[in-house]
Amino acid sequence: MDILPDPSRCAVLVVELQNDMVHESQAEQKGLGGALAAQIQRRGILPKVAELLATARELEVPVFYINVANRPGVPRPRARIYQIAEKRGPTLVAGTWGAETHVTVQPGPDDFVLERTLSVDGSHGTPLYPLLSRLKRDQLILTGISTTLAVEGLVRASLNRGLECWVAEDCCASFPHEWHEWSIRNVLPLLATIGSSAELGSALRAQPQPAP
Q: Which domains does the chain have, with CATH numbers?
A: 10-206 (3.40.50.850)
Pairing assessment for the beta strands 193-195 and 164-173 based on DSSP bridges: parallel
In this prediction, residue 27 carries a pLDDT of 86
Q: State yes or no: pLDDT of 46 exceeds 90.
A: yes
Rounded to the nearest integer, the mean pLDDT of the chain is 91
At 1, is the pLDDT very low, low, confident or very high (cuts 50, 70, 90)? confident
Q: How far apart are CA 202 and CA 196, in angstroms?
A: 10
What percent of the chain shows pLDDT beyond 70?
A: 90
In this prediction, residue 34 carries a pLDDT of 85
Q: State yes or no: pLDDT of 121 exceeds 90.
A: no
Select the more confidently predicted residue: 43 or 35.
43
| Residues contacting 58, CB < 8 A, separation 6+ | none
